[in-house]
Chain A
Amino acid sequence: DVKVTQSSRYLVKRTGEKVFLECVQDMDHENMFWYRQDPGLGLRLIYFSYDVKMKEKGDIPEGYSVSREKKERFSLILESASTNQTSMYLCASSPTLRGDVEAFFGQGTRLTVV
C-alpha cells in the first residue's frame, strides 16, 4: 500500500525558530512536493523535487527552503518561522510529472507559529 508519512501531525513553534518538516515515501517515486493549505486558498505549491538533490520553486517559495538528500525523504525548512506561516502543510509524491497519474499525499502537518 502506498504511503507518504509526515513526521508530525501537529507542531507549535515560536516566531524566529528554524523549523523542519519531514516527509518520507515508500513508493520509490522520483517526484516529491510540498504544499500548504489555507482556508479559502486551496493548495499552493511551495517547492517540488524531481530527483535527489534537485529542486524547483513553486508558487510561494519565499521564507522556505527544501532538502532532498535521499530519494525517499523530502524536507521543508522554515528558516525563521513567522506567524503568517501558520498553516496546514502537505507533502506529496508522484512517480511521474506527466499525465493523469495521481500524486499521493501525506496526512498533513498542522503548524502553528506563535
Chain B
Amino acid sequence: DQQVKQNSPSLSVQEGRISILNCDYTNSMFDYFLWYKKYPAEGPTFLISISSIKDKNEDGRFTVFLNKSAKHLSLHIVPSQPGDSAVYFCAARSDRGSTLGRLYFGRGTQLTVWP
C-alpha cells in the first residue's frame, strides 16, 4: 500500500505561470519530506525538502508547503520555465522505528512547461 501518493500523473503549464505539484501521505510518523526531479535517462536529483515541524520552505523559485493535519504537501514553482519539464517525485522519511532510513517515493508527476 502506497504511503506516499501523487495522484496526478501529469501536469502541463505555460512558461511563466505557476506549477503546483501535489503529494499526499498516509503515515503520520514521517519526519521529513523531499522533492526530487528526474530527467529521462538520468538519476533523480534533489530539489528541496521540509521538516514536519515546518509548514513552508522556500528556495529560489521553489517553495514547498506542508499541511500536517491534511497529510498533504505541495511544491510550487514560480515562474515555471521549459527547463523545469521533468518528472517530480515526492518522498518521505521517518527518523524512527523499523522504517528508519527508508525513503518512500510517490509515483511521480510529469511536468511539461510549454512556451
Contacts and interface: CB of A to CB of B under 8 A. Distances in A.
Contacts of B31: 99
Q: How large is the interface on A (under 10, 10 to 19, 20 to 34, 35 or more residues)?
A: 20 to 34
Contacts of A100: 32-34, 49-51, 93
B41 A107 contact: yes
B95 A98 contact: yes
A59 to B, nearest CB: 8
Interface stretch (B14-22, B67-75, B76-84, B100-108): B100-108
A45 B103 contact: yes
Contacts of B106: 42
Nearest to B5: A42
A9 B41 CA distance: 8
Nearest to B47: A102
A105 B105 contact: no
Interface in B1-22: 4, 6, 9
Contacts of A9: 41
Contacts, number: 66
B82 to A, nearest CB: 22
A105 B59 CA distance: 21
Contacts of B9: 40
Nearest to B91: A43
Interface string B38-68: 0001111110011100000000000000000
A44 B105 contact: yes
Contact of B101 (A31, A90, A102): A31
A103 B103 contact: yes
B25 interface: no
A56 to B, nearest CB: 8
Interface string A22-40: 0000000001010100001
Contacts of B91: 43
Given A44-B105, A100-B34, A102-B46, 17 more contacts: A9-B41, A33-B103, A41-B107, A42-B6, A42-B106, A42-B108, A45-B103, A58-B102, A90-B43, A90-B44, A92-B43, A97-B100, A100-B50, A102-B34, A105-B43, A105-B45, A108-B43
